[in-house]
Amino acid sequence: MLANQFCKRRKILYERTKKMKAFLILEDGHVFTGTSIGSGKEVISEIVFNTSMTGYLEVLTDPSYAGQAVTMTYPLIGNYGINFSDMESKKPWVKGFIVRELSRTASNFRCEGSIQDFLEKHDIPGIAGIDTRALTKLLREKGTMNGMITTDENYDLDKILPQLSAYEVGNVVDEVTCSEPAVLKGTGKKVALMDFGAKNNIARSLNKRGCEVTIYPAHTGAEEILAAKPDGIMLSNGPGDPKSCTQIIAEIKKLYDSDVPIFAICLGHQLMALATGADTHKLKYGHRGGNHPVKDLRTGRVYISSQNHGYVVDTDTLDPKVAKPAFVNVNDGTNEGLEYIGKQIFTVQFHPEACPGPQDSAYLFDRFIEMMGGEQ
């Protein structure tokens, strides 16, 4: 039984019947040539990079990557294979996967399969064998760009470049949210989790602290949420431009006007800021990885955090009577969290649930439970 469930240290060979060429074409005209991995289909997406050394399955299945192809900056990916219990949602959401080298073998006692098989199963194209360091430097210098992954050796740049310029990630929250409410039973505080593309470990982090977590679709009205009389409300992470979520922002304003404690992460943090009159803007190349330092402005302590966002709250637009900065990014000084004046509301841009990444800031879930009147 166990031998069938796990790889038991045996090696899985990534045997491909053919080494098909693949091309990554960027909207500025740069072309990277490598080898096709995963599906052989052609795809256009926003090209981003993640600096995590491990956790590639969690990255692949993070709904916040919907509409994007992810470049892993760590040079060797896939050496410990796939373990399905590490997935952060029911399926992968990336549109493409870009690596320097895909490990030909996977060896780990938890291994249940290979990345190659996983990508093929979910019809996700990718490219390996390119200089991901050069690609990352290019994205840092010029900013995030759209791109195409294709296996067509007769590609026509004159036709492709206008398509790349026209691509938009769009309102992908509607694609990643759940279709109906779900409940994780618990004996403690009742939490309403708004699913804008929530990673599994947000609900798990609350549930393992005893909370009963009800997960609601993104467009659930504030009246329905408040009618359930939750002890607290959690606004999740999610993909895309927060300004595209106009209806959701209107409902969050109603939640803000209630007296229910609220904790928000990533997209939820941005949506709460927009709902209370602040603005957001797109970063040049975003923050994605498990090694981003953030400073708690209350204590001066620095935490290493997991991050995945391309947009940020513009603190210059904050009304000081409404909210004040609570965390700041040590690298570039951008906002990483807000504390709302006279309200039981705090929000963070980074990911205290990690998965993947450091768990330095997991204490924020305890803080939320204390805010709801619970004990830790």
Which of the residues are catalytic?
266, 351, 353
Residue type, 50: N
Peptide bond into 325 cis (omega under 30): no
Residue 209 CB neighbour total at 10 angstroms: 19
DSSP-based three-state secondary structure for 325:
strand
326's tokens: 């609570």
Residue 46 vs residues 14, 176, 339, 369: alpha-carbon distances, Å:
27, 17, 32, 37
| Selection from 198, 59, 69 nearest residue 135 by Cα | 69
Query: How far from 273 is each of 155, 195, 235, 370, CA to CA, in Å?
Result: 43, 17, 12, 23
Helix axes 246-257, 267-275, angle to 10 degrees: 70
**What is the Cα–Cα distance from 365 to 374, expressed in whole angstroms?**
11
Radius of gyration of the CA atoms of the chain, in A: 21
Phi-psi region of 99 (alpha: psi -120 to 50; beta: other; left: phi over 0): beta
Burial of residue 292 (CB within 10 Å: 0-12, 13-18, 19+) is buried
Question: 39 CB contacts (<8 Å, ≥6 apart)?
Answer: 119, 120, 122, 123, 124, 125, 126
Paired tokens of 141: 């210098």
- The sign of the torsion formed by the CA atoms of 168, 169, 173, 178 equals positive
Amino acid at 250: A
Contact (CB, 8 A) for 227 and 254: no
